[in-house]
Chain A
C-alpha cells in the first residue's frame, strides 16, 4: 500500500532538499514546573532559536508545544514577534503538531485530546493564520509518549496530518522492525473508518536525542572532549570507508540549550574531518534500518538550543565539510524540517507496510515495563476526570450571546467559535 494516496499526496509543493533541522518537545512540567521550565529554559530557547535562524536561510527548526509558544509570545516585543512570524512564513521555523502539549496516549481521554489540539491550533490560526498553509501543522511529533495508541492515527488523519513520528514502542518489537525496514509504515487507526484513518508513521529507534558529541552546550561532558583540535573519542575506531549507497542523508535539528558556551573550534581541517566522519558513521548506521536513502536525524535533546548560535555554527562547519567532499563521505547533509522530509518521501512513491495495532505497553528493557503509570497518582487522575465534567458542563451549555451580535466573525469560522456553537446540533443523537 502506498502511504501517500490519502495523506501525503495532498497538494504538496516541491521542496529543494539540502539539509534538515527539527525539534524535540519541551515538557510543560516534569522535574520542574511549567513556569520554572519557561523561565529557566524555554524562554531562552525560543529567543535563541529565533535569532540564530534569522538571516541564515539554510537553518531549520521545529517547535511543538503551543503552550510554551503562547507563554513566550506574551513576553515578546513586536519586533521579536515579527521576526518569529517571518521565520514561520519562510518555512525555517516549522510548527509541529500544533497541540497545546504533546499529550499522553494511554491515560488521557478522547475529549481532552481533541480539546488540547483544538486549543493549540486555534492559537496558531489566530497568530499565523494569515500566512496560509505554513500555519497549519501537518506532522505529528509524539516522540516521548510512553506507548502509542492507534486512536492517534485515527485522530491525526482526520485532522489532515500527513504523518506522525514516535520513539517509545516496545524495544524488542522495534528491534524486529529494523532489519525488516519497517520503521516507517502506514498505521490504520480504525477499521470502521478505514483508509481515511491511515497515517504514515515514522519510528525513531535512537530516540530524539542526538549523539552527545554533537550537542555543544549545557556543559555536556561528552561535548567537552570536542574542544580545540577536536580529538573526538571513538573516531579512530570507526571505519573510514563508507558505502556509496547513501547519497542524500538528511539532518534534522532539534531544540536544546547550553548553559555554557563551549565555542567549539572546528578550525583544523583534520579535526573537522574526524567530527564529520563520526557523524556520517552514525547516520550510516541509522540509514541501514530504513527503506529509502533519505534519513531523518533529530538533532537535539531535552531543553537544548539555549545557545543556538553555537550549536548551529558548529554544525554548519561539519555540514560544509561533508557537502564539500560528498564523494569521500558518500552522503549529503542539510538542515530540514519533518514536513520537508515527508514531502521528499512522498515524491519517492515508496510502498510501506500497513499496521493496525496498538503499541502498548511500552517495554523499555528486560525488566522495564511502563505499566505503572496507567494507575499511578490515582487521586490526581480522578481530579482531572472530575475537572473534565465541570468543564463540559460549564463550556458547552452556554451559547455565546454576544457572538451573534458581533459583526467581526471571521470566515472561515474559528474552531472556538464552532466549539461554542455546537448546540446548533440539529442531529438527534446528542
Chain B
C-alpha cells in the first residue's frame, strides 16, 4: 500500500465515522391517542399504599406509579410492621407484575401432563370448565372429592375459601406451607395456653438468645425483626444489647451475633435445659415470675437433674465454660429473651426442644414484659397440624378418592416429594391452578385460571407475628391489570354463584371487592362510625387499619406445669456410617421457599454469606472438603436415602464439619425463563422420619453423603467469600 492509498483510506474511514455520528439520534415523542382520565399527569408520579403478600410477614408498601405504570416500591412508613423499611423480596414484586412469561389468559391443557402444551381459551370457556367439573362432582353426590390447596390464608380470603368449601360440602381444604409456624402455635398452646403467635420485643431486650431463629432473613417477620435488632444494638444511649446465636450453620443472623455457638443439630433442646438447670442451681432466676407461674425451683431442679454440664457439653459438642457463661449472662441480664427457630423446630425432637427453649423465658421473667415476649395481636389463630392434614390428603389422593383439586400456590415445588404428594397429585383426574406463571404446579394442571399480580389485586393482608397492634393491611390495585387475568377469590365467587343454591347464599357478594369492603365496614363499626365511603378512601390511603391500642386481654401465662419438656435423642433419616453429614435446608434470603426464584432481581441478588448468584450450592466446612478432596466450585453429588442431586460446592468455614447446607428455592421445572432449570430443588433429598408409624415434618433431620464429580461446578459468585470468612477467624 503506498502512502496515497493509505491517506485516502483513512480519510474515508474518518468521514464515514463522522457521518455515522451525525445521524439524527432524536427520539420519538409519542402522544396519547385519547387523553387519560383525571389523576394521571405525565411526568408526575402518584404514590399508592398497598401491602406485600409475598411472604406471611405482610409488610406495608408504597408504590410509585407514573403514567399508569408501577415504577418503584418502598416500605410504608405508617405500617406498624415494617415502618417504611422493606426487604429485597418486597422490592422485587414489581417484576411479578412485569414478568415476560406471565400467563396472559386462561389455559387448557392439550398435551400430556407436564409437557407444557396448553391452548389459550377465553374466560367464559375456562369458567364453564371449572363450574362444569364442580357440578359433575355435586351431581355424583361426591362433593367431598374436591380438594382446595392453598398457602396459609388469613382475613377475607380465609373466610371466602372456608365458606366456599363448606357450602360445597368438602372438608378437604389444605393450608400448607413448608415453613408455616405450626410448631410455634403448638408449643404456645402447651406452654402458654394459647395458639396465637408470639411477638418478640427484640428492640427493648438486652440479651437475645436465638436457637436457630434467623430473625433478619426469614423467621416470622424479618423486616420487623431486622429493624428491632438495629434498635436493640444502637437505639439506646447506654446499652448495646448482646446477641448469642445457637445453630450449626452461620446464617446472616448468626453472623450478626456477638457469639456463635454451633451446637450439634438436634441438641438445642438439651442445651436449653442445661442452661435452665444452671440458672436454677445458681438461683439466678426471676423468683417472682417463677412463683406467679406456679413453679417451684426445687421441683424443676429435680426434673432437670440429668442435664448436668458435662452431659450437655458432650451432646451439644460445645465447651463447658461457654455454656456456663451464656447461662450466667442470660440469667443476670434483664430483660433477656430466648427465641426458637425453624432449624430447631424441624428436627425429630423439635416440639419438645421448642418448649424447653420457651421455658427459659419464664425463668428470666420475660413473659409480657418490655424486652420480652408478648402475644401477637395481629394474626388470628392458625393451623397447628397442617402437616398431618397434608399426609391424610396425600393418602386420599393416592387412594383415588379425590376427583378434583384446585391449587393456589406452587405445592409441587415446595412440598418434599418424600411425603408422596407429587405422586398422589398425579392420580387426581382434574387439576385447576391459579398461578400467574407456568410454575411446577400449573405445568401439571388441566386448567389454568391465572390470578392477578399482587400490584393488580384487592385484598387484606394480616401480618404474621410482627406487631402487638391490631393490623389489617389493605391491598389495592395500583395499576390497571395488564392482561386478561382475574383474581383468585373473584373466580371462586363466580363459580359459587354459577353453582347457585347454598353456595350462592354463602357468598352473597357481587365481587371480592364488595366482600372486602363489607368486612372492613364491620371492623370499622367497632372503632368509629364515619361516613364509610370517606373512611374507606382514608384507609386505602393509609394502607390499612392500624389500631394503636395494644392487645391487653390475652397475656401469656405459663400453663406447662412442672413437667420438664423432654427432647428425645434426635433421630435422622440415613445411618451415620453411610450418610455421614447432617443436611440443613434453609430458606434462601432471596427466594424464601422458592416463590422469589422467577424474579431476575432476586436471582442476581448475591447470597449475603457466600455471594453466590443464579444457582444452588452446597456449603461444606473446609476440613470436610479437604478430607473429601473437594475444592471451591467443584461439582458435588449429594446423596440422601431419598435421592441425589448435583450442585457446586462452596467451601464455607461457618458451618460445622459434620453438617452441609443447601439453600431452598431453586430447581423449578418452569416458572418462567429466569427460574427454569436453574439450580436444584434440595427438597428431593429429604427423607421423613417416623414417630411410631406417623410421619414427621422433620425437614432438618436427613443425613447425606457427598462425592466429588468434577471441577466444573459452574458456580457464580460476586465476591470472594473465602477471603471474607477465613477459617482461621472462625473456630469450630
Are A and B part of the same complex?
no
